[in-house]
């Protein structure tokens, strides 16, 4: 799922008509050659401030170790895939780029990415969390390295909770004592009755590219989006429970009305400006929030129903099928996913590692390290079957339909029955099942 980087929309739209600077055109195929031009890699990514600094450090380190040159090209998130699509179409794509797990499936299924099977030994593959390696694989072959992951947890404004009469010393801290849906609803009700009309109990981060985060609620209810063949499973009692509960967020005025899946106002902004007392937010935004927030806040586990669940955020690094020097590209990917590099990147950016050796408290987080155990703990609720569904090549297309259907259900009065039936049809369309 997309970890949306909040980068000014100005740059995003201005960039619609602007070609990416600095992306030297690599049109040649073949690899392993030794001439000078082959010692250069182009690497395109989007990045928050802390991510950019971390990428620059690691690129410099790789250049020193390998003697190669890496042209790092940082672009706004909003223009990232429009540009990559156009560059792939014109045979002008960068050698290496960053991609979320949902989009990775679109590229790998269209044979746009370098098959890394021959570049990684079984031992190296085994070093990764199995679910994350699965997330970069298509038809059994890996098409990238899982670079980091990211999950949402529930951030709370302690001042606002206390003002509503909620005892903040009894807030849940681990998966074991996470709020149930009922307990969460009680807190929301209590907040609603104490907050003025223009403030809201919470906001969910399912706007725009984040729409698939709605699946966390489906998974918590014990539901499934689709089976292994891609046949829709959402039209179920669990699907109805998840939809009814999330629709009640709008009916009960627990969330701001503009924060719908097609809305343009993001959860972290509403939380920072204290329009909401709580917000579901990914850990990658912790550095930004630490900088902006002028109130006491902490992180809690997401509520649970039949089980705990969260979204699969984070990104992979991939090499393009036409990379000028596939060996060098693969070497760069291996370097970026190495234990040291991943540890320093995740530590600097509050993101979670994908190597089993770095699980638990192995990474030292630079900012608000006190909150990170909640996210690390939350990540354990991701099950392999969730990953399978979230990384299906059809998921990007399903997300588009989900955005329209959830919007219709949340604020346009579309019935649960119709919404689930429409979602099932959209899944069938996308997967051909």
Partner 1 sequence: MVGWAFLAPNLVLMIGFLFVPIVLAVQLSFQETRGFGDPQWVGLANYRTMVEDPDFWRSLANTILFTAVTVPIELAAGLGLAVLMNSALPARGLLRTLLVLPMVVSGVASAMIAVILFYESNGLVNKVLETLGLDRVGWQSEGAPAMVSVILVAIWLRLGFNMVIYLAGLQSIEPELYEAARIDGASRWQQLRSITVPLLGPSTFFLLIMNVIASFQVFDVIFVMTGGGPSGATSVLVTYAYRNGFQIREQGYGAALGIVILLITLVFTFVQWRTSRTRDLAG
| Site residues (vs partner 1, CB under 8 A) | 8-10, 13-14, 82, 85-86, 88-89, 106-107, 110-112, 198, 208, 256-258, 260, 262-265, 270, 273, 275, 396-397, 400, 407-408, 411-412
- Closest distance to partner 1 from the beta carbon of 83 (Å): 10
User: Of 23 and 171, which has the nearer Cβ to partner 1?
Assistant: 23
User: Of 107 and 249, which has the nearer Cβ to partner 1?
Assistant: 107
- Closest distance to partner 1 from the beta carbon of 264 (Å): 5
Alpha-carbon Rg for the chain in angstroms: 21
How far is the C-alpha of 174 from the C-alpha of 172, rounded, in Å? 6
Q: What is the DSSP string of 260-273?
A: STT-SS-HHHHHHT
User: Of 90 and 174, which has the nearer Cβ to partner 1?
Assistant: 90
User: Of 9 and 22, which has the nearer Cβ to partner 1?
Assistant: 9
How far is the C-alpha of 267 from the C-alpha of 213, rounded, in Å? 12
User: Of 381 and 419, which has the nearer Cβ to partner 1?
Assistant: 419
Q: What is the DSSP string of 282-342?
A: EGGGHHHHHHH--S-EEEEPPPBSSS-----EEEEEEEBTT-S-HHHHHHHHHHHTSHHHH
- Closest distance to partner 1 from the beta carbon of 382 (Å): 26
- Closest distance to partner 1 from the beta carbon of 363 (Å): 34
User: Of 330 and 396, which has the nearer Cβ to partner 1?
Assistant: 396
- Closest distance to partner 1 from the beta carbon of 44 (Å): 15
- Closest distance to partner 1 from the beta carbon of 275 (Å): 4
End-to-end CA distance of the chain: give it in Å, rounded.
22
- Closest distance to partner 1 from the beta carbon of 422 (Å): 13
User: Of 3 and 50, which has the nearer Cβ to partner 1?
Assistant: 3
> Which class for 264: exposed (0-12), middle (13-18), buried (19 or more C-beta within 10 A)?
exposed
Long-range contacts at 105-112 (CB < 8 A, ≥ 24 apart): 105/138, 105/391, 105/392, 105/393, 105/394, 105/395, 105/396, 106/393, 106/396, 107/143, 107/318, 108/138, 108/143, 108/144, 108/318, 108/393, 109/138, 109/393, 111/321, 112/88, 112/320, 112/321
């Amino acid at each position: 799922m997309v970890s949306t980087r909040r980068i000014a929309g100005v740059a995003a739209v201005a960039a619609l008509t602007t070609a990416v600077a600095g992306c030297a055109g690599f049109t040649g195929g073949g690899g392993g050659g030794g001439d000078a031009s082959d010692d250069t890699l182009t690497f395109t990514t989007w990045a928050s401030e802390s991510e950019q600094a971390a990428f620059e450090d690691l690129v410099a380190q790789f250049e020193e170790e390998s003697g190669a040159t890496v042209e790092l090209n940082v672009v706004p998130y909003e223009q990232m895939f429009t540009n990559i699509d156009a560059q792939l179409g014109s045979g002008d794509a960068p050698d290496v780029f960053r991609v979320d797990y949902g989009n990775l499936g679109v590229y790998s299924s269209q044979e746009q990415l370098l098959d890394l099977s021959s570049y990684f030994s079984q031992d190296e593959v085994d070093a990764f969390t199995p679910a994350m390696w699965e997330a970069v694989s298509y038809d059994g072959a890996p098409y990238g390295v899982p670079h980091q992951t990211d999950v949402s947890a529930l951030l709370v404004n302690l001042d606002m909770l206390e003002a509503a009469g909620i005892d903040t010393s009894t807030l849940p801290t681990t998966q074991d004592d996470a709020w149930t849906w009922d307990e969460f609803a009680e807190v929301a009700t209590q907040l609603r009755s104490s907050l003025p009309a223009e403030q809201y109990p919470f906001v969910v981060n399912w706007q725009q590219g984040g729409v698939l985060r709605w699946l966390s609620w489906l998974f918590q209810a014990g539901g499934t989006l689709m089976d292994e063949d891609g046949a829709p499973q959402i039209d179920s009692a669990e699907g109805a429970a998840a939809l009814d509960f999330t629709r009640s967020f709008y009916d009960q005025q627990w969330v701001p009305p503009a924060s719908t899946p097609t809305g343009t106002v993001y959860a972290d902004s509403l939380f920072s400006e204290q329009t909401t007392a709580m917000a579901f937010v990914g850990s990658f935004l912790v550095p930004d929030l630490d900088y902006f927030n002028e109130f006491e806040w902490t992180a809690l586990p997401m509520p649970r129903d039949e089980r705990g669940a969260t979204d699969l955020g984070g990104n992979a690094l991939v090499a393009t099928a036409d990379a000028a020097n596939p060996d060098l590209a693969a070497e760069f990917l291996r370097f970026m996913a190495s234990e040291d590099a991943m540890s320093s990147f995740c530590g600097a950016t509050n993101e979670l590692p994908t190597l089993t050796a770095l699980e638990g408290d192995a990474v030292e987080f630079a900012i608000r390290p006190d909150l990170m155990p909640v996210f690390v703990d939350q990540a354990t609720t991701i099950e392999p079957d969730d990953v399978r569904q979230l990384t299906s090549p059809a998921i990007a297309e399903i997300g588009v339909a989900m955005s329209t259907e959830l919007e219709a259900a949340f604020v346009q009065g579309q019935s649960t029955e119709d919404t689930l039936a429409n979602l099932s049809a959209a899944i069938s369309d996308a997967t051909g099942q």
